[in-house]
Amino acid sequence: MKIERLTKGLSLKRSVENGTQEQRDAVIGIISSVRKKGDSALHEWTRKFDGAELSELQVSSLEIDEAADSISSEMADVIKEAAENIRSFHTKQLRNSWMTTDGTGTLLGQKVTPLDSVGVYVPGGKAAYPSSVLMNVIPARTAGVKRIVMVTPPDRDGKLPAGVLAAAKIAGVDEIYKVGGAQAVAALAYGTETISPVDKIVGPGNIYVALAKREVFGDVDIDMIAGPSEIAILADETAIASEVAADLLSQAEHDERASSVLITTSAELAEGVSKEVEKQLSALPKEPIARSSIKDFGRIYVAETMEAAVEAVNDIAPEHLEVMTENPIELLGQIRHAGAIFLGRYSSEPVGDYFAGPNHVLPTNGTARFSSPLNVEDFQKKSSVIMYSKQAFGQNAAKIAAFARLEGLEAHARAIESRLGE
Amino acid sequence: MKIERLTKGLSLKRSVENGTQEQRDAVIGIISSVRKKGDSALHEWTRKFDGAELSELQVSSLEIDEAADSISSEMADVIKEAAENIRSFHTKQLRNSWMTTDGTGTLLGQKVTPLDSVGVYVPGGKAAYPSSVLMNVIPARTAGVKRIVMVTPPDRDGKLPAGVLAAAKIAGVDEIYKVGGAQAVAALAYGTETISPVDKIVGPGNIYVALAKREVFGDVDIDMIAGPSEIAILADETAIASEVAADLLSQAEHDERASSVLITTSAELAEGVSKEVEKQLSALPKEPIARSSIKDFGRIYVAETMEAAVEAVNDIAPEHLEVMTENPIELLGQIRHAGAIFLGRYSSEPVGDYFAGPNHVLPTNGTARFSSPLNVEDFQKKSSVIMYSKQAFGQNAAKIAAFARLEGLEAHARAIESRLGE
CB–CB of B316/B335 below 8 Å? no
Q: How confident is the model at residue B13 (pLDDT cuts 50, 70, 90)?
A: confident
Residue A373 forms part of a structural domain: no
Q: How confident is the model at residue B8 (pLDDT cuts 50, 70, 90)?
A: confident
- Same domain for B252 and B276: yes
For residue A264, the model assigns a pLDDT of: 98
Tens digits of pLDDT across chain A (422 residues): 999 999 877 877 776 667 888 999 999 999 999 999 999 999 999 999 999 999 999 999 999 999 999 999 999 999 999 999 999 999 999 999 999 999 999 999 999 999 999 999 999 987 789 999 999 999 999 999 999 999 999 999 999 999 999 999 999 999 999 999 999 999 999 999 999 999 999 999 999 999 999 899 889 999 987 888 999 999 999 999 999 999 999 999 999 999 999 999 999 999 999 999 999 999 999 999 999 999 999 999 999 999 999 999 999 999 999 999 999 999 999 999 999 999 999 999 999 999 999 999 999 999 999 999 999 999 999 999 999 999 999 999 999 999 999 999 999 999 999 999 75
Cα A175 from chain centroid? 21
Q: How far apart are CA A234 and CA A321, in angstroms?
A: 7
Q: Is B104 helix (H, G, I), strand (E, B) or coil?
A: coil
- Same domain for A180 and A311: no
Nearest to B253 by CA among B275, B233, B218, B277: B277
Final residue belonging to a domain, choices A311, A335, A356? A356
Per the annotation, the verdict on A319 as an active-site residue is: yes
Count of CB contacts below 8 A, A vs B? 345
Q: How far apart are CA B352 and CA A365, in angstroms?
A: 38
> How many residues in total does chain A contain?
422
Contact (CB<8Å) B402/A353: no
Q: How far apart are CA B259 and CA B229, in angstroms?
A: 7
Q: How far apart are CA B390 and CA B340, in angstroms?
A: 49
- Same domain for B150 and B234: no
Instruction: List pLDDT tens digits, range B64-96.
Output: 999 999 999 999 999 999 999 999 999 999 999
Contact (CB<8Å) A411/B100: no
Average pLDDT over residues B201-205: 95
Nearest to B225 by CA among B83, B330, B359, B364: B364
- Same domain for A190 and A78: yes
A392 contact residues in B (CB cutoff 8 A): 346
Residue B355 burial (C-beta neighbours within 10 Å; 0-12, 13-18, 19+): buried
Q: How confident is the model at residue B422 (pLDDT cuts 50, 70, 90)?
A: low
Instruction: List pLDDT tens digits, range B353-391.
Output: 999 999 999 999 999 999 999 999 999 999 999 999 999
Residue B321 forms part of a structural domain: yes
**Angle value at C-alpha A169, between A163 and A175, nearest 5 degrees:** 110
Asked if pLDDT for residue B392 goes beyond 70, the answer is yes
Contact (CB<8Å) A411/B199: no
For residue B16, the model assigns a pLDDT of: 66
Enumerate residues 47 to 86 of chain B having a beta carbon within 8 A of any beta carbon in chain A: 74-75, 78-79, 81-82
- Direct distance between the N- and C-terminal alpha carbons of chain B, in angstroms, rounded to an integer: 80
Pairing of strands A107-114, A380-387: antiparallel
Interchain contact A396–B (C-beta under 8 A):
yes
Detail the DSSP E strand segments found in B81-135.
Answer: 98-101, 107-114, 117-121
Interchain contact A280–B (C-beta under 8 A):
yes
Final residue belonging to a domain, choices A177, A205, A222? A222
For residue B15, the model assigns a pLDDT of: 67
The residue in chain A having the minimum alpha-carbon distance to the alpha carbon of residue B388 is A347
Q: How far apart are CA B251 and CA B233, in angstroms?
A: 11
Residue A103 forms part of a structural domain: no
Final residue belonging to a domain, choices A167, A200, A222? A222
- Same domain for B200 and B282: no
Asked if pLDDT for residue B284 goes beyond 80, the answer is yes
Residue A408 forms part of a structural domain: yes
- Same domain for B330 and B393: no
Q: How far apart are CA A24 and CA A214, in angstroms?
A: 10
Query: Which backbone phi and psi does A281 adopt, to 5 degrees?
Result: -55, -45
Asked if pLDDT for residue B41 goes beyond 60, the answer is yes
Interchain contact B198–A (C-beta under 8 A):
no
Residue B368 forms part of a structural domain: no
Asked if pLDDT for residue B14 goes beyond 80, the answer is no
Domain total of chain B: 3
For residue A226, the model assigns a pLDDT of: 81
- Same domain for B182 and B266: no
- Same domain for A180 and A268: no
Contact (CB<8Å) B350/A252: no
Domain of residue B123, residue span: 21-96+114-222
Contact (CB<8Å) B284/A410: yes
- Same domain for A144 and A11: no
Residue B303 forms part of a structural domain: yes
**Angle value at C-alpha A359, between A206 and A204, nearest 5 degrees:** 10
Per the annotation, the verdict on A320 as an active-site residue is: yes
- Same domain for B181 and B123: yes
- Same domain for A233 and A197: no
Residue A368 forms part of a structural domain: no
- Same domain for A233 and A315: yes
Q: Is B178 helix (H, G, I), strand (E, B) or coil?
A: strand
Interchain contact B201–A (C-beta under 8 A):
no
For residue A125, the model assigns a pLDDT of: 81
Q: How far apart are CA B243 and CA A152, in angstroms?
A: 52
Contact (CB<8Å) B115/A386: no
Interchain contact A250–B (C-beta under 8 A):
yes
A216: Cβ contacts below 8 Å, ≥ 6 apart: A31, A185, A186, A189, A190, A201, A222
CATH number of domain containing B292: 3.40.50.1980
SS3 readout for chain A? CCEEECCCCCCCCCCCCCCCHHHHHHHHHHHHHHHHHCHHHHHHHHHHHHCCCCCCCECCHHHHHHHHHHCCHHHHHHHHHHHHHHHHHHHCCCCCCEEEECCCCCEEEEEEEECCEEEEECCCHHHCCHHHHHHHHHHHHHHCCCEEEEEECCCCCCCCCHHHHHHHHHHCCCEEEECCHHHHHHHHHHCCCCCCCCCEEECCCCHHHHHHHHHHECCEEECCCCCCCEEEEEECCCCCHHHHHHHHHHHHCCCCCCEEEEEECCHHHHHHHHHHHHHHHCCCCCHHHHHHHHHHHEEEEECCCHHHHHHHHHHHCCCEEEEECCCCHHHHCCCCCCCEEEECCCCCHHHHHHCCCCCCCCCCCCHHHCCCCCCHHHHEEEEEEEECCHHHHHHHHHHHHHHHHHCCCHHHHHHHHCCCCC
Q: Which of B79, B290, B384 is the closest to A411 by Cβ?
A: B290
Enumerate residues 110 to 169 of chain B having a beta carbon within 8 A of any beta carbon in chain A: 110-111, 113, 115-116, 126, 129-131, 163
Interchain contact A9–B (C-beta under 8 A):
no
Residue B364 forms part of a structural domain: no
